[in-house]
Amino acid sequence: MPLLIQNGEIVTADSRFHADIYAENETITRIGPNLEVPPNTTVLDARGKLVFPGFIDPHVHIYLPFMSTFAKDTHETASIAALIGGTTTYIEMCCPSRNDDALEGYLLWKSKAEGHSACDYTFHMSVTKFDSNTEEQLRQIVADGITSFKIFLAYKNFFGVDDGEMYQTLTLARELGVIVTAHCENAELVGRLQQKLMAERKTGPECHEPSRPESVEAEGTNRFATFLENTGATGYVVHLSCEPALRAAIRAKQRGVKLYIESVIPHLLLDKSYAERPGVEGMKYVMSPPLRDRRNQKPLWDALSVGLIDTVGTDHCPFDIEQKLMGKGNFTQIPNGIPGIEERVNLLYTYGVQQGTVDLHRFVDAASTKAAKLFGLFPRKGTIAVGSDADLVVYDPIYKGVISASTHSGNVNYNAFEGMKIEGRPSAVTVRGRLQVRDGVFVGNRGHGQFLRRDTRTPIASLRA
């Protein structure tokens, strides 16, 4: 059924104007004033509202065997939570471990999502080893439309790669025009510091941050940048959490390394004092890199506001309280991760735009457009234009609410942002022209999501400046 959004104020990464938007066959076909209403059209009145391109979360974990358990979501639960929060596309980390076959892993992750996601999706393909099969398998995966790899410098013996494997991955990525995303922490130092703290009987969640200090992340970031510099590959640091790592990444950008930076909502809004809360209250806030000293937040927000930090994701990674308790008495066993797929856009709007730190266009860019450009989805996704998918968020900037596990839709029994106020939320969310959410309620089709292959109108990463 055709869709008409009337009377809204359209905001993209580089424009702002009042117009109607008409979509048919999943695509925006007309933008202009006072568009006519053909019969059988779904009409949404957006008077007094902002209309954004569907938001893109560039970093989520949904199916994830990790730390002796599984992340709590299904693609159905995660995608519905995403949509309620205005995210119409997510990019999931496909994470087979070193012991798994990469191609089998890729097919497994795809099969988990297919027919179960209510919003669109694609994957970053993790390279967790580089053996004699890897190159051929990665070529096949890229031929299937994947535009990005993921490497972990942390999580030794599970997801982590050594420097030789990083070099091989980057060299292949450069040839294929694939961007490489990286979790940058020095695995050796993390392991040694964990052992030392445990030997000193320092076992609680408050020890997680000291086991992975800022210098450990700065070293990983600097090393990744150095490998990019010497292979000519294009890279993207995921979940950058602190000023020393930020400085390392910006230095690399300034000397011409093709490096992009992601920050995630927990590092922008939460700090290590949350993980210092006693018992399970602290365990809820264990993620890697860890929540940091609060003094890191201003440099992150400042870099975000001027575009030195390119994107804001979530690193959505849900574990229930019972799963967090697996690390009682041993912080190294607390499943790492904080969920946030539902909250990201409203938190960034509230604490970025409403507080005057991030302008509206940078907000759209960081939460949607830039990820679409970097990961081969633009201009199908990430903007409002004739020919783009009708992924649209009619946003109510007047709405006021409070985040709570008692009202969220996510499939996890706590909310890391419990009690935080939000000012603004989506009042309608469409995916390829289909109305999926109305005023915080999922009203759509659960299996509507599509796997996204590279939009061939996007130049490949290695050709970008």
Q: Pick the closer one to ligand URP by CB: 60 or 392.
A: 60
Site for ligand URP in 268-297 (CB under 6 A): 287-288
Q: Cβ closer to Zn ion: 317 or 403?
A: 317
Q: Which stretch binds Zn ion (CB under 5 A): 181-189, 389-397, 405-413, 416-424?
A: 181-189
Burial status of residue 256 (CB atoms within 10 A of its CB: 0-12, 13-18, 19 or more):
exposed
**Among Zn ion, ligand URP, none, what binds residue 13 when CB lies within 5 to 8 Å by partner kind?**
none
Q: Tell me the per-residue interface mask from 299 to 338 with Zn ion, x by CB under 5 A, - otherwise.
A: ----------------x-----------------------
Tokens at residue 184, please?
């940058």
Total chain residues near ligand URP (CB under 6 A): 8
Give 357's contacts (C-beta < 8 A, 6+ positions apart).
Answer: 301, 304, 305, 351
Q: Tokens in use for 344?
A: 């990201």
Residue that the structure tokens 């919003």 belong to: 119
Token pair in block for residue 408:
């969220």
Q: Indicate the SS3 state at residue 227.
A: helix
Smallest gap from residue 406 Cβ to Zn ion (A)? 26
Smallest gap from Cβ 317 to ligand URP, in A, equals 4
* Residues in CB range of 36: below 8 A, 6 or more apart: none
Given the complex with Zn ion, which of 189 and 384 has the nearer CB atom? Answer: 189
At its nearest, how many Å lie between ligand URP and the CB of residue 238? 7
Q: Is 20 in the site for Zn ion (CB under 5 A)?
A: no
Any contact of residue 316 with ligand URP (CB under 6 A)? no
CB 227, min distance to ligand URP, A: 19
Q: Is 183 in the site for ligand URP (CB under 6 A)?
A: yes
User: Is the bond leading into 335 cis (omega within 30 degrees of zero)?
Assistant: no
Give the tokens for residue 351.
Answer: 């604490």
d(Cα 119, Cα 392) in Å, to the nearest integer? 12
Tokens of 99: 């012991």
Residue 125's alpha-carbon distances to 12, 401, 409, in angstroms, are 29, 36, 28
Under rule CB under 5 A, residue 129 binds Zn ion = no
**Candidate residues 337, 339, 410, 424; the one interacting with ligand URP per rule CB under 6 A:** 337
Angle at 304 between CA 298 and CA 308, to 5 degrees: 115
Q: Which residues bind Zn ion (CB under 5 A)?
A: 183, 315
Q: Which residues bind ligand URP (CB under 6 A)?
A: 61, 183, 287-288, 315, 317, 336-337
